[in-house]
Amino acid sequence: MPFLFSHSHSSQHALQQIPHTNPTHTTNSTVQAPAPEPTTPTPEPTTPPPSLAEQESQTTGGYLLNTSDGTCFDSDRGITSDVKGYVIDEQGIRHDDVCEQNNNVLREYYCSEYEKDYLGIKYIQCSLCQDGACVTPPPAVKLCVESNAKSLDFSTAGSVTDTRTKAVFNDTCSTPYVLFKYYCDFSDHVGKRATTCPNGCKAGACSP
**20/172: higher pLDDT:** 172
Contacts of 195 (CB under 8 A, 6+ apart): 154, 178, 179, 181, 206
Q: In angstroms, rounded to a whole number, what is the distance separating the alpha carbons of residues 83 and 5? A: 143
pTM above 0.75, yes or no: no
pLDDT range class, residue 10, cuts 50, 70, 90: very low
**19/44: higher pLDDT:** 44
Q: In angstroms, rounded to a whole number, what is the distance separating the alpha carbons of residues 18 and 129? A: 124
- DSSP letters of 72-120? EEETT-S--TTS--EEE-TTS-EEE-EEETTTTEEEEEEE-TTSGGGEE
How many whole angstroms from its chain centre is CA 201?
Answer: 69
Section 73-100 average pLDDT: 96
Check: CB of residue 109 under 8 Å from CB of residue 86: yes
pLDDT over threshold 80, residue 156: yes
Of 5-9, 50-54, 163-167, 175-179, the poorest mean pLDDT is in 5-9
How many whole angstroms from its chain centre is CA 38?
Answer: 52
pLDDT over threshold 60, residue 13: no
pLDDT range class, residue 141, cuts 50, 70, 90: confident
Of 1-5, 92-96, 119-123, 183-187, the poorest mean pLDDT is in 1-5
pLDDT range class, residue 138, cuts 50, 70, 90: confident
Of the candidates 154, 158, 124, 123, the one whose C-alpha atom is nearest the C-alpha of residue 144 is 158
pLDDT tens digits for range 30-80: 667 677 777 777 777 777 788 999 999 998 889 999 988 899 999 999 999
Q: What 3-state DSSP class applies to 181?
A: strand
Predicted local confidence at residue 29, as pLDDT: 56
Q: What is the DSSP letter of 173?
A: E
pLDDT over threshold 60, residue 28: no
Predicted local confidence at residue 123, as pLDDT: 97
